[in-house]
Amino acid sequence: MLKPLKKDILKRLTIAAVDASNNAFHPITPKGVGAAVLTTEDEIFQGCNVQTTISGLGVCAEQCAIYHAVANGKYDYKAVAVYFPSEKFIKPCGMCLQLINEFSQVINKDIIIVMINNKNKFKFTSVNKELKDGYGPRVAGKNISAYAKNK
Ligand SMILES: [Zn+2]
């Protein structure tokens, strides 16, 4: 059972994800998506979706946030939040779940997924729940212990 996130952390994740959604590059769809990754050290890294007219070049907000954290040398996460400016909650897509799963194996712990809507309401799930027994570096026999800073 994952430890629930504290209210102040949820507030910080919401602000970061909403802020990032405002910077999304979304010429294809009317609304942008924002995301925020929470590290095990309670640092937050934002990301937004980037769409392109040529398919396959764009990136989801969750991936962008994870790449942002990686670029800052952070590989161990407690949570990934995703914000969509609608009453509807959106869940990370399959590719994002796979990417989150890869990083859950860095410290061999589940990662909370927080879905935030435009009413500042939350829905919670986790990568292990959404992608049970997912394939990743540990399953493939790769030694990724060098990336685990907070074991
Ligand atoms: Zn995605």
Catalytic-role residue among 41, 43, 62, 87: 62
Give the pLDDT confidence score for residue 36 in this predicted structure.
Answer: 98
- Active-site residue flag, 41: no
Is residue 26 situated within a structural domain? yes
Q: Tell me: the pLDDT tens digits for 13-57?
A: 999 999 999 999 999 999 999 999 999 999 999 999 999 999 889
Residue ranges making up the domain that contains 109:
7-147
Mean pLDDT of the chain: 95
Is residue 78 situated within a structural domain? yes
As a whole number of angstroms, the distance between CA 124 and CA 4 comes to 9
Is residue 2 situated within a structural domain? no
Give the pLDDT confidence score for residue 75 in this predicted structure.
Answer: 96
Å from CA of 37 to ligand 1 middle: 14
Å from CA of 109 to ligand 1 middle: 21
What mean pLDDT do residues 63-84 have?
Answer: 97
pLDDT at 150 over 80: no
Is residue 15 situated within a structural domain? yes
Å from CA of 139 to ligand 1 middle: 22
Å from CA of 133 to ligand 1 middle: 19
Is residue 83 situated within a structural domain? yes
Is residue 108 situated within a structural domain? yes
Instruction: Supply the CATH number for residue 18's domain.
Output: 3.40.140.10
Q: What are phi and psi of 23, to 5 degrees?
A: -100, 0
- By C-alpha distance, which of 41, 78, 45 is closest to 62? 45
Is residue 116 situated within a structural domain? yes
As a whole number of angstroms, the distance between CA 104 and CA 39 comes to 11
Q: Tell me: the pLDDT tens digits for 107-139?
A: 899 999 999 999 999 999 999 999 998 899 988
Is residue 131 situated within a structural domain? yes
E-strand ranges in 41-140 read: 44-48, 77-83, 112-116, 122-126
Domain count for the chain, please give it.
Answer: 1
- The sheet carrying 34-39 orders its strands as 44-48, 34-39, 77-83, 112-116, 122-126
Q: Show Cβ contacts of residue 63 under 8 Å, excluding neighbours closer than 6 positions.
A: 47, 95, 96, 99
Q: Tell me: the pLDDT tens digits for 58-73?
A: 999 999 999 999 999 9
